[in-house]
Amino acid sequence: MVKNGIFIVLEGLDGSGKTTQAKILAQRLSESYSTYLTAEPSCGKIGTFIRECCLYEQMRLPIEAEALLFAADRIEHMQAELKPALEQGKLVICDRYLYSSLAYQGNSGLSLDWIKTINARALQPDFSVFLDVPPERVLERLRRKKSVMETLEVQRRVREVYLKFVAKGELIRVDGDKSREVVADGLYAKVLEMLRCAKRLGCS
């Protein structure tokens, strides 16, 4: 595949404002780039099945099966949306990607190496950003029916995994615990910095 575009991933806890921030970021970047905003679980067959059948307690599958479904959705998403957009030279913003699988399926004992192995065929993003909001704050924000992922205990463990990858330099942390406008400005500034840096290195 000739990848001409730029692939940016936005990660965070449920209720961290990630989806709103992804939209604002895509809108701002669309002034200078042809952007494509997408999300996982995707709108494809497997992603739809996940949303409808896997996220609530009574429908819970074994954690390995869940991880395999997210990995399968990622491949379908890559073929159907990510590759075509990147081949057209677009700047792709994806709301959740591989680090969601590592953080959500990996927080309860499932091997991170195994999760990486089953995702080995997925495209590598150019940058992955973690929008960091304390678990206590995200639960205050979540007023709708909570999925099985949305308890304080789970969100704390999920954040710990994300922070491990921040410490390794694989995820870039942006403080998400501020007003929507301030977070949007901080995220935009960080992404512009990364894009400038990638350009200097000849990666885009």
Choose one: 2-10, 33-41, 133-141, 196-204; the region binding ligand TYD (CB under 6 A).
33-41
Strands (E), 78-184: 91-95, 127-132, 172-175
Q: How far is the CB of 129 from ligand TYD (least distance, A)?
A: 14
Q: Does 17 bind ligand TYD (CB under 6 A)?
A: no
Binder among 100, 107, 155, 204 for ligand TYD (CB under 6 A): 100
Q: How far apart are CA 159 and CA 107, in angstroms?
A: 9
- Following CA atoms 107, 14, 123, 51 in sequence, which dihedral angle do they give, to the nearest 10 degrees? 100
Which tokens belong to 111? 């091997």
Binder among 147, 151, 164, 190 for ligand TYD (CB under 6 A): 147
Choose one: 20-28, 39-47, 182-190, 195-203; the region binding ligand TYD (CB under 6 A).
39-47
Q: How far apart are CA 178 and CA 186, in angstroms?
A: 10
Helix (H) or strand (E) segment spanning residue 38: strand 35-39
# of chain residues touching ligand TYD (CB under 6 A):
14
Catalog residues that contact ligand TYD under the rule CB under 6 A. Answer: 14, 19, 39-41, 55, 70, 96, 100-101, 104-105, 147, 149
